[in-house]
Amino acid sequence: MDARLIAFLILLPFTLAFLYAAIHEYLRFKSQGSATYGLAYNEETGTTHVTGISEEEEAFDPEDFDPSDYNDPDLRTAPEDAKG
- What are the counts of helices (DSSP H) followed by strands (DSSP E) for the chain? 3, 2
Whole-angstrom distance, CA of residue 15 vs CA of residue 7? 12
Show the beta-strand stretches assigned E in 1-84: 36-42, 47-53
55 vs 27, more confident: 27
Q: Is the pLDDT of residue 59 over 70?
A: no
The per-residue pLDDT for 71 is: 56
Q: Tell me the pLDDT tens digit for each residue of 43-56.
A: 777 788 888 777 77
The per-residue pLDDT for 11 is: 97
Q: Helix, strand or coil for residue 66? A: coil
Whole-angstrom distance, CA of residue 84 vs CA of residue 64? 31
Q: What is the pTM of this model?
A: 0.50
81 vs 46, more confident: 46
The per-residue pLDDT for 78 is: 52
Whole-angstrom distance, CA of residue 13 vs CA of residue 6? 12
